[in-house]
Amino acid sequence: MEDVLSKAAIYSKSDAHSLYTVLKRLFHTLIVTTVLALIVVLLLLFQQYQSDWLTVQTRYSGESIARQYAKLLQPAFGGKEVSNSALSSGADISQHQIDDIEAVASVLVEEPHILALSVFDKDGRYIAPLPKIDSVVALSQSQNVTPLTYVGTIESDDGNLLGYVTIHIDTQAVLESPLTLRYQLALIAGILVFLALVFGIYLTRAFYKSRPWFIQVIESKKKHVNLKK
């Protein structure tokens, strides 16, 4: 009878141990799965952040430059003098207007972050600057980073379409200052993480070294209380 009871006790302990082992393994599996899922989510969020950051740093500034260049080129097209009848008749741009457009375009393209600039009439025919600039493919091959291209519409004061201006921006020149600030921010974050790690290590060492002293103080207080009782 005693053998049966002892075997039953052993089996119950074994079953409890097996259940604990299964639950522990299940818990660790859930933790590892959660960590892996969080890593994947973090990578996706980082990629989305990279894309959004690039858009913020380039798109809005590029679109703003294209609009400003279109405004600056408007007088060269005779934007204040072009009538609706002239536009509807499809009259060609005069040589005087072409000379004015080339003069303005030659000044605008001198900006350090502008790789090239093209001006077209309302029918899409190339006007300036001459000689004709290289294609976008050629510009991309000559640069380490693909240049950004933006198009601005040139309109008269009445809102009539006069032409288009296409600008090709040096991506590296536009992102040089933001990337420098970003690298500095990453360096500061790395230094803070390193300091936090060092502080955590020494705080843990101090805790483990002072733990015997705390235990001794607590036990002495317990003994003192027991003596009073």
Last residue of a domain, one of 152, 171, 190: 171
Distance of CA 122 to the CA centre of its chain: 36
Q: Is the pLDDT of residue 195 over 90?
A: yes
* Number of independent structural domains in the chain: 2
Same domain assignment for residues 116 and 80: yes
Same domain assignment for residues 166 and 218: no
Strand 148-155: give its sheet, edge to edge.
126-128, 114-121, 161-169, 148-155
pLDDT in tens, 60-109: 778 888 888 888 888 888 755 444 444 444 456 777 888 888 888 888 88
Q: Is the pLDDT of residue 183 over 80?
A: yes
Asked whether residue 217 is domain-assigned, the answer is yes
pTM score > 0.95 for this model? no
The label of the residue with tokens 């288009």 reads: 164
Same domain assignment for residues 81 and 129: yes
The residue range of the domain holding 219 is: 172-229
Helix (H) or strand (E) holding 219: helix 171-228
pLDDT of residue 112: 78
Same domain assignment for residues 98 and 193: no
Last residue of a domain, one of 171, 188, 218: 171
Same domain assignment for residues 134 and 76: yes
